[in-house]
Amino acid sequence: MESLNNQLHRCSINTATLGHREPIALTLDRIARAGFGGVAPWRQEVEAAGAPAVARQLRALQLSVSGYCRSAYLTGATPAERRAAVESNRRALHDAAELDARCFVMVVGGVNGTAPASSAGAAPRDLAGARQQVADGIAELYDEARKLRVPLAIEPLHPMYAADRSVVNTIAQALALCESIAPDDPALLGVAIDVYHCWWDPLLSESIAAAGRARRILGYHVCDWLADTRDMLMDRGMMGDGVVDLAGFRRQIEEAGYDGMVEVEIFSRDRWWTVEPDSVLSTCAQRLQSVC
């Protein structure tokens, strides 16, 4: 496996890593100036600036887009809610095409999303039903993705988010969805693999290898799992500060055939989001080149 030393052009910064504290134009300038080759922006910041303006700046800075974040949740209490999510995702896909994004990242929604907002006490306990809603929603969106030639990357989320964020929780599960929805089209429906969500999986090696054989690895995200994690959402670690064998993980991903970007995505409200953005970026650069 090749070191990432002097390979920052292969590395991308997910803008969440900087805490969404500044307008995207400034964020993109910082990321390009720090030497990174890519960025993964979020909808709210792209829509605030307008996709055409962002696309122009990306071209001027020669930044590629490793992924566009992210889908509206596909689980919903009513058909109307689910249709609205698909429509919202369709609009985002058009912006993803404008940005020439390598993929549109799909975070699919939790079982709690199936609860009627108005009915207190009506418990959303149908996990299988929620998973079927997700399969149906992806299938619908996939038709649009084919027209626009924007790959959809299903991102399995850590099982601790199954209630509120995603009922897709392992690489194998995401891969099975891909195979059932688009058996012949790996380029347009695949998986985004994030070490934070997947590092614990007893089937990790087999699942990465299977995703690679299927040519469905569309994104690779890094951060670290802190041994003393204090918050389920906002306490991800900087690479090297936690328990994940990041070099070993990348070796498996690349042996499986992935040659895309290594994207840093760190939600860290109390630690990295309080640090000056250029300093966060230089730490990311240093860690990518030493421990990833």
Kindly tell me which residue out of 99, 105, 162, 285 binds a copy of itself, with binding defined by CB under 8 A: 162
Number of residues that bind a copy of itself (CB under 8 A): 37
Kindly tell me which residue out of 56, 83, 125, 215 binds a copy of itself, with binding defined by CB under 8 A: 125
Place of tokens 């030393």: 5
Query: Residue 116 corresponds to which amino acid?
Result: P
Asked whether position 47 contacts a copy of itself by CB under 8 A, the answer is no
Asked whether position 136 contacts a copy of itself by CB under 8 A, the answer is no
Asked whether position 25 contacts a copy of itself by CB under 8 A, the answer is no
Asked whether position 226 contacts a copy of itself by CB under 8 A, the answer is yes
Detail the DSSP E strand segments found in the chain: 11-14, 38-40, 64-65, 68-69, 104-106, 152-154, 189-194, 217-222, 262-264
Kindly tell me which residue out of 61, 77, 135, 163 binds a copy of itself, with binding defined by CB under 8 A: 163
- How far apart (Å, rounded) are the C-alpha atoms in residues 21 and 13? 15
Q: Is the dihedral of CA 97, 98, 103, 107 positive or negative?
A: negative
102 vs 216 by CB, closer to a copy of itself: 216
Task: Dump the DSSP string for 119-145.
Answer: -TT-----HHHHHHHHHHHHHHHHHHH
- How far apart (Å, rounded) are the C-alpha atoms in residues 71 and 184? 23
Asked whether position 289 contacts a copy of itself by CB under 8 A, the answer is no
- How far apart (Å, rounded) are the C-alpha atoms in residues 123 and 180? 29
Asked whether position 292 contacts a copy of itself by CB under 8 A, the answer is no
Tell the smallest beta-carbon distance from residue 32 to a copy of itself (Å). 31
Alpha-carbon dihedral 74, 260, 267, 95, rounded to 10 degrees: -50
Tell which positions 188-217 bind a copy of itself, by CB under 8 A. 199-202
Helices and strands (H, E) in the chain, number of each type: 10, 9
Asked whether position 124 contacts a copy of itself by CB under 8 A, the answer is yes
- How far apart (Å, rounded) are the C-alpha atoms in residues 36 and 227? 28
Asked whether position 158 contacts a copy of itself by CB under 8 A, the answer is yes
For the record, the structure tokens of 9 come out as: 């052009």
Task: With contacts defined by CB under 8 A, name the span among 32-40, 226-234, 254-262, 277-285 that binds a copy of itself.
Answer: 226-234
Asked whether position 39 contacts a copy of itself by CB under 8 A, the answer is no
Tell the smallest beta-carbon distance from residue 158 to a copy of itself (Å). 7
Asked whether position 242 contacts a copy of itself by CB under 8 A, the answer is yes
* Phi, then psi, of 231 in degrees rounded to 5: -140, 140
Kindly tell me which residue out of 88, 159, 257, 271 binds a copy of itself, with binding defined by CB under 8 A: 159
Asked whether position 118 contacts a copy of itself by CB under 8 A, the answer is no
List residues near a copy of itself by CB under 8 A.
110-112, 115, 123-127, 131, 158-160, 162-164, 167, 169-170, 172-173, 199-202, 225-229, 232, 240, 242-245, 248
